Amino acid sequence: GQSLEQPSEVTAVEGAIVQINCTYQTSGFYGLSWYQQHDGGAPTFLSYNGLDGLEETGRFSSFLSRSDSYGYLLLQELQMKDSASYFCAATWAGSYQLTFGKGTKLSVIP
């Protein structure tokens, strides 16, 4: 089947940099998205990688390596408001559907 793996929890200090990894099954893989969800809130789109390499959007960057079946989300200059769950989500060739990972709960501490 189509599945993604990401760590369940990460803790980091305010002002630091944190990387959240995501590995996926390669069969039919098309692209990798990242979504942020605060407790009690709805997921919001952060970034998308359709090609290998780094995509930068302000303090957030996302990276994809198709040869390694791996991507990551990089958060810089962490702020307390970045405490949330982060989901990687894959799209597969010929489908608009997203398959979500189980999510990584990021806790930013002072």
Partner 1 sequence: EADIYQTPRYLVIGTGKKITLECSQTMGHDKMYWYQQDPGMELHLIHYSYGVNSTEKGDLSSESTVSRIRTEHFPLTLESARPSHTSQYLCASSEGTGTSTDTQYFGPGTRLTVL
Residue 104 has phi, psi (to 5 degrees) of: -120, 120
Q: Does 48 bind partner 1 (CB under 8 A)?
A: yes
Build a one-symbol-per-residue string for 66-85: x at contacts with partner 1 by CB under 8 A, - elsewhere.
-------------------x
Exactly one of 11, 19, 79, 97 binds partner 1 (CB under 8 A); that residue is 97
Closest CA to 71 of 24, 11, 25: 24
If the CB atoms of residues 90 and 108 are measured against partner 1, the closer one turns out to be 90
User: Quick check: 53 binds partner 1 (CB under 8 A)?
Assistant: no
Separation between Cα atoms, residue 99 and residue 90, nearest integer Å: 5
Tell me if 103 contacts partner 1 by CB under 8 A. Answer: yes
Q: How far is Cα 108 from Cα 25, in angstroms, rounded to an integer?
A: 30
Interface with partner 1, residue 87, by CB under 8 A? yes
**DSSP summary character for residue 93:** T
The burial of 49, by beta-carbon neighbours within 10 Å (0-12 exposed, 13-18 middle, 19 or more buried), is given as buried
Q: Does 21 bind partner 1 (CB under 8 A)?
A: no
Interacting residues toward partner 1 by CB under 8 A: 30-31, 33, 41-45, 48, 50, 85, 87, 91-103, 105
